[in-house]
Structure 1
Amino acid sequence: MKQSTQTDLISIRDVAARLPKFINKVPNIISGLKQAYIRTPNTPAGLGLAFERAVKRNPYGDALLFEDQRYSYQELNEWANQIAHYYLSKGIKKSDVIAVIIENRSELIATVIALAKMGVTSALVNTAQTGKVLTHSINLVKPIAVIVGEECRQAVDDVRQDLNVKADHFYWFADQATRENTGIAPANYVNLAEIITPFPTFNVATTHSVKGKDGLFYIYTSGTTGLPKAVIFTNSRWTLAYGTYGHILNLHEDDVMYVTLPLYHATGMVVCWCGVIAGSAALAIRRKYSTTAFWNDVRKYKASAIGYVGELCRYLMDAPPSANDRAHRVTKMIGNGMRPNIWSKFKDRFGIEEVLELYASSEGNVGFSNIFNFDNTVGFSPTPYAIIQFDKEKNAAVHDAKGRCIKVNKGEVGLLIGKITNRSPFDGYTDEKNNQSVIMKDVFKKGDSYFITGDLVRDIGFRHAQFVDRLGDTFRWKGENVSTTEVENICSEYPKISEAVVYGVEIPNTNGRAGMAAITLHEGAELTDEDLSEMVTLFQKDLPAYAVPVFLRVQEVVETTGTFKYQKNKLKEQSYDPGKTSDRLLVLLPGHSAYCDISPEIFSNIEAYKYRF
């Protein structure tokens, strides 16, 4: 991220200058904040309740648009009710967990609403997962059932014998508009679209018994090490997002939010959709992001708002300018990761008036939102937090003579921590050991507790911050968190590799960091052309596409510190530059199926952004 300038720093005067445009949002924001904060863990709350209220406000208005499918709020509600009534008849109840593995399409939305009305937690499994990672993710949350779309069925079938789910509790949706044609289920699956048809369409009674403390989603995060962790996302936390982000977005019944982000992540499923529900607006979804189809879809659905991550914005900016760049009615966007070097360019090119950049994490308790529409900031936070001095070399917070942490000054970078209170609790992971590792105690005074975000941010004043970088063994690529330990484990399974060290490296003009693995080979082993192809096949089979290493570095020995920690800082600094090391360097170029050596020409082309990673 670029260094802070004086124009980035925000004062009370700057905020006052923004107030005239902010005033018209105030009534909606106040309404949202009441719903967000006037609640207790035992108050009825959550997605199911909010959706039913949206149905009452706008029963015949569009709720969901997908491809050529269109569902009003009433139609979508009736569909969800049939699913809920069916599962209630099977004895499934509040606090049960069901794993949901469906790509972005109508069946996913209807299923999530249905389970939310019951108080059943939807485990939103990453649809790119396969093999051991998929097995781990499903078994981790102890689901009572699995609901899978045909597009993901093969991945489930490959590991089905390893899943701790009863054989008759696997449910299936055909990969089509199942309200029109339920399809024929494969052996050993229950056709959910077909079996719900005789069930009633009226609201289930359970919606009003779902409390804030009850689980709504399990969202998977790579955390800092190891296999994916399941983060519990409660109905209370959803209501907080709904009351803040949802109402700040200020959508109305004639608005349409276009979302191509994967709905197994909180940005799409929670942040974007809760803004739609708050305004009784329409959600338009696409199965997977496409640069060429993006603005055509925006026009097709008459979208007025879009959901984004930084990588998506870069892809759109990379596309050739077109006379249609402003031929749409989009004025608002909500998401995270907009790069400062394209922020104003993106707004100017596409006619965007409001970039509601935000900061949040699936497991965290602190959030920022760009409610005053400043550039180059994750926005303002009403939640209690601190930005503390951090020594990156020692990988530890800086303490004063009394052993307390020290806050940074305005304009400085530090570690963001969120204060744990009754109003900003830390819901945590499924594994208590993981919880303890991210909580810091006695930070400023004895007895206080803070959640460690693992993110470095810059304090730019008036409770605003800029995101700078992420600590630890996780990096972001393609808008996803990549766990280095997970990738290291998969790399090490290749027969010729004895050890792998994975880290992220920056490629000019891209978002986040691309994966690079420094590998050592078994004694006497050499990588052949066949290996360079087979490694890609193995990695793509066992890892999501975004986690497959873009670069490889073949080392004789892995350098470690005196405490046997990998020398990642040196590896990151040398990156994939053949001028900085004599080690063999390899790259998986876009569209290729095998690694190739990085020649001076290829390195120069990467630096010149001639490959679209």
Structure 2
Amino acid sequence: MSDHAPFASVQLLLLFLRTILRIVLIPCKLIISLFRTIFPTGVLNSVDPNHRWRDDFHIATYFITGVSKYVWSVYSNRFQYWYLFEGQVKKNPNSLAISYPKPLAAKGEFELQQFTYLETYRIVLRLSYYLYNVHQVKPGDFVALDYTNKPMFIFLWFALWNIGATPAFLNYNILGQPLIHCIQTSNISQIFVDPQAAGPIKKTNDELEKSLPHTQLHFIDEDELFSNVLLNENYPTLRTDDSIRSPQTAKDFEAAMLIYTSGTTGLPKPAIMSWRKATIGCSLFGRIMRVTPGQTVFTAMPLYHSTAALLGVCAIFAHGGCVAISNKFSASTFWKQVCLTESTHIQYVGEVCRYLLNSPVSPYEKQHHVKIAYGNGLKQDIWKEFKERFNIGIIGEFYASTESPFATTSLQRGDFGIGACRNYGPIVSMVLSMQQCLVKVDPDDETIIYRNEKGFAEAPDVGQPGELLMRIFVPKRPETSFQGYMGNKKDTESKVVRDVFRKGDAWYRSGDLLKSDSNGLWYFMDRLGDTFRWKSENVSATEVENQIMSFTKTVILETVVVGVKLPSNEGRAGFAILRLQNKDMSIEDKLDLLNTLLPHLKENLPKYALPIFIKFADEIQLTHTHKVAKNIYRNQALPHGDDGSETVFWLCGYEKYQLLTDEDWSEIAKGTNKI
């Protein structure tokens, strides 16, 4: 037999599969076209005022064609997002891909930088040559980006993909041991640093050189790089050969990128973002959010988070749209930038919506062309007010976490579905019921799934909170659905629960409580365990606890950290409970202790992770299973406890701990004291 016979057989198989897929797709497309002719949008709206049948049809038809094409890309080994991007360059070369309101020296003024798909592609190819030949970035390398929001972030990201390297997106706020841990666990060989974000990494530089002497730091001179390389038409280009970027051994559930998430280990974890999630997952999400060529999505979310990276850039590029990126969120210039970039969509997290509502009226907020705002965490109490004030017709609320294998979405119009994070009609709901479910949790310890006398989980009643689980379709190989965390087998396995509804099944644990209503809509309730969200960031309670205890174990015997809800604020603020060696310490001495501890916390924790409130306790309360009763502490009554006798301290202006007075609490509760 010829040496080429096996290869020829594979090619014949692929040709056969492609032919079958085309045979399937042709009638599907004809049916879709016929249905749209018979039932135009106006008719569907009249028979389905809540748009659920129409949305089901919109999702299902794309799912059939999109998944079929994706299956073909897997069989032909072209499933990496790079090929999807190249496809858009060919289809929409002159359409805008990136729009960037670059901040100028004059406050509130911007210079609009824009790049078409073809311009972006050529820049990426030049940058690829530069990285490969100047910095010796090679296929298979893990390379970190420590970058703020700007086009260079995307150029570096896609250049690494072109070369065949894996980008890792560092949160530029972290420093000290957490930063070293991120780099160490991800096998990072090089880090490209934005000078604008260099402060924390420079503070950690001595520790980095000692702990990771072989990791190279590169502080980018953007002006020089743009002039000499990116915009230099005579500079060489590099388009890596497909066999190098996409070896035959590649799998679609392998890492496309690493994004860091906080967790119960006390340190950030590199969550593996698979090619499957980046391609078909994000493409479907973009479809649901009505992203099409010629439309622009504005985001002020950090690109190192999955919201802006996956559900922003990847979802937008998959459909030939333009991503408009703000260097950082600013409530005062938000709508000006939206207008400047002519955006049709905006991304949000709940905190952003509240900040915008609390801001003075801007003339730009009535001049924009935004039709859809999508994100997560928009609370019901401000939902309608946000839509009405800023004249936004559709809210695209979703539920997702960085590492979760799937997401839920809700495209909300009118008054139906306010607050929901999952809102589908009967068809999609029926399909998703095989993949997503809610289960009861132990009433005494919400981190434990309730089991009945047969040892199996049960679904909660309508309106009753339950933990969201997502099915792992191949229980013996959970990595095919849930890739977990790089270099952290223990935490990866802790997110997988088995024998839930029958022996041998496996599910991903979200760690979040949701509830359903009588219409089948789902609503986010709360986070479980030791992670909470503050200032649009995930905070690891264990990480904060570890830093408190590393400062002194002789004075502080024990500490518990949770997140507490506050009026007029999104998320949960850090709340620490300390048990001291000396139970009789005076208030003055406690203040001295806290303000001595504060510099240590500032050196080792990002600002959003600092405990805002602290109280001292003689004993730490436990559950009947001898675990810390965190639910009790999460429901702390402020400012003085349930009986009004407790003394609580707070971090005033992030500068100094002081007693929490009634006046302080009144300002915090009204939102006039921004913490």
Query: How does the TM-score come out when normalised to structure 1?
Result: 0.88
Counterparts of 2:197 and 2:636, CA distance in 1: 39
Residue 375 (structure 1) aligned with residue 437 (structure 2):
no
The AA in structure 1 aligned to 2:617 is Q
Higher RCO, Cα 8 Å, sep 6+: 1
For residue 442 of structure 1, what is the aligned residue in structure 2?
A: 499
- Match of 2:451, SS? coil
- Match of 1:247, SS? helix
Shift of 1:178: 4.8
Tell me the alpha carbon deviations over residues 27-51 of structure 1, each in whole angstroms, 9 at most, x when there is no partner.
6565444445666488322321221
Structure 2 vs 1, CA of residues 392 and 478 (structure 1 numbering), >3 Å: closer, same or farther?
farther
For residue 499 of structure 1, what is the aligned residue in structure 2?
A: 558
Counterparts of 1:510 and 1:241, CA distance in 2: 31
For residue 569 of structure 1, what is the aligned residue in structure 2?
A: 631
Shift of 1:208: 5.5
Q: Quick check: 1:47–1:113 contact (8 Å CA) kept in 2?
A: no
From the CA coordinates, give the structure whose radius of gyration is larger.
2
The AA in structure 1 aligned to 2:418 is D
Structure 2 vs 1, CA of residues 59 and 70 (structure 1 numbering), >3 Å: closer, same or farther?
same
Structure 2 vs 1, CA of residues 534 and 245 (structure 1 numbering), >3 Å: closer, same or farther?
same
Residue 104 (structure 1) aligned with residue 163 (structure 2):
no
Residue 465 (structure 1) aligned with residue 522 (structure 2):
yes
Counterparts of 1:579 and 1:248, CA distance in 2: 45
| Higher deviation after alignment, 375-384 or 297-306 | 375-384
Counterparts of 2:273 and 2:313, CA distance in 1: 15
Counterparts of 1:460 and 1:165, CA distance in 2: 55
Please point out which of 561, 571, 574 is paired with 1:515. Answer: 574
For residue 155 of structure 1, what is the aligned residue in structure 2?
A: 200
Please point out which of 478, 484, 490 is paired with 1:428. Answer: 484
For residue 40 of structure 2, what is the aligned residue in structure 1?
A: none
Structure 2 vs 1, CA of residues 420 and 40 (structure 1 numbering), >3 Å: closer, same or farther?
farther
Structure 2 vs 1, CA of residues 583 and 557 (structure 1 numbering), >3 Å: closer, same or farther?
farther
Residue 281 (structure 1) aligned with residue 321 (structure 2):
yes
Shift of 1:203: 6.6
Shift of 1:460: 2.8
The AA in structure 1 aligned to 2:613 is F
Tell me the alpha carbon deviations over residues 355-393 of structure 1, each in whole angstroms, 9 at most, x when there is no partner.
111111121123201146532111246540111111231
Q: Quick check: 1:95–1:214 contact (8 Å CA) kept in 2?
A: no
| Higher deviation after alignment, 558-567 or 415-424 | 558-567
For residue 164 of structure 1, what is the aligned residue in structure 2?
A: 212
Counterparts of 1:212 and 1:346, CA distance in 2: 39
Shift of 1:536: 3.5
Structure 2 vs 1, CA of residues 465 and 219 (structure 1 numbering), >3 Å: closer, same or farther?
same
Shift of 1:163: 4.3
Tell me the alpha carbon deviations over residues 137-187 of structure 1, each in whole angstroms, 9 at most, x when there is no partner.
1111111222111223343342321443526x332312x4455456xxxxx
Q: Quick check: 2:651–2:658 contact (8 Å CA) kept in 1?
A: yes
For residue 220 of structure 2, what is the aligned residue in structure 1?
A: 173
Shift of 1:117: 2.2
Counterparts of 2:391 and 2:136, CA distance in 1: 51
Counterparts of 1:88 and 1:392, CA distance in 2: 55
Aligned 1:31-50 pairs, distance under 5 A: 31-35=65-69, 40=74, 43-50=77-84
Structure 2 vs 1, CA of residues 137 and 565 (structure 1 numbering), >3 Å: closer, same or farther?
same
Shift of 1:472: 0.7
For residue 188 of structure 1, what is the aligned residue in structure 2?
A: none
The AA in structure 2 aligned to 1:408 is P
Residue 77 (structure 1) aligned with residue 129 (structure 2):
no
| Higher deviation after alignment, 325-334 or 244-253 | 244-253
Tell me the alpha carbon deviations over residues 62-108 of structure 1, each in whole angstroms, 9 at most, x when there is no partner.
21122132222122112222232344446644432111111111211
Residue 310 (structure 1) aligned with residue 350 (structure 2):
yes
Counterparts of 2:60 and 2:458, CA distance in 1: 35
Structure 2 vs 1, CA of residues 284 and 94 (structure 1 numbering), >3 Å: closer, same or farther?
same
The AA in structure 2 aligned to 1:52 is E
Structure 2 vs 1, CA of residues 75 and 114 (structure 1 numbering), >3 Å: closer, same or farther?
same
Structure 2 vs 1, CA of residues 305 and 595 (structure 1 numbering), >3 Å: closer, same or farther?
same
Counterparts of 1:350 and 1:365, CA distance in 2: 33
Counterparts of 2:674 and 2:617, CA distance in 1: 27
For residue 172 of structure 2, what is the aligned residue in structure 1?
A: 127
The AA in structure 2 aligned to 1:398 is Y
- Match of 1:391, SS? coil
Residue 200 (structure 1) aligned with residue 237 (structure 2):
yes
- Match of 1:511, SS? coil
For residue 301 of structure 2, what is the aligned residue in structure 1?
A: 261
Count of matched residue pairs = 589
Structure 2 vs 1, CA of residues 36 and 611 (structure 1 numbering), >3 Å: closer, same or farther?
farther
Q: Quick check: 2:296–2:322 contact (8 Å CA) kept in 1?
A: yes
The AA in structure 1 aligned to 2:121 is N
Shift of 1:308: 0.9
Query: How does the TM-score come out when normalised to structure 2?
Result: 0.80
Residue 348 (structure 1) aligned with residue 388 (structure 2):
yes
Structure 2: tracts of 5 or more residues without a match: 1-46, 103-110
Structure 2 vs 1, CA of residues 52 and 354 (structure 1 numbering), >3 Å: closer, same or farther?
same
For residue 394 of structure 1, what is the aligned residue in structure 2?
A: 445
Counterparts of 2:231 and 2:55, CA distance in 1: 50
| Higher deviation after alignment, 261-270 or 151-160 | 151-160
Tell me the alpha carbon deviations over residues 274-322 of structure 1, each in whole angstroms, 9 at most, x when there is no partner.
2320232221111211100101111111111111111111111111344
Tell me the alpha carbon deviations over residues 519-578 of structure 1, each in whole angstroms, 9 at most, x when there is no partner.
234548663766554444332221112111111113344344566533323323334321
Structure 1: tracts of 5 or more residues without a match: 1-12, 183-191
The AA in structure 2 aligned to 1:403 is G
Shift of 1:344: 1.6
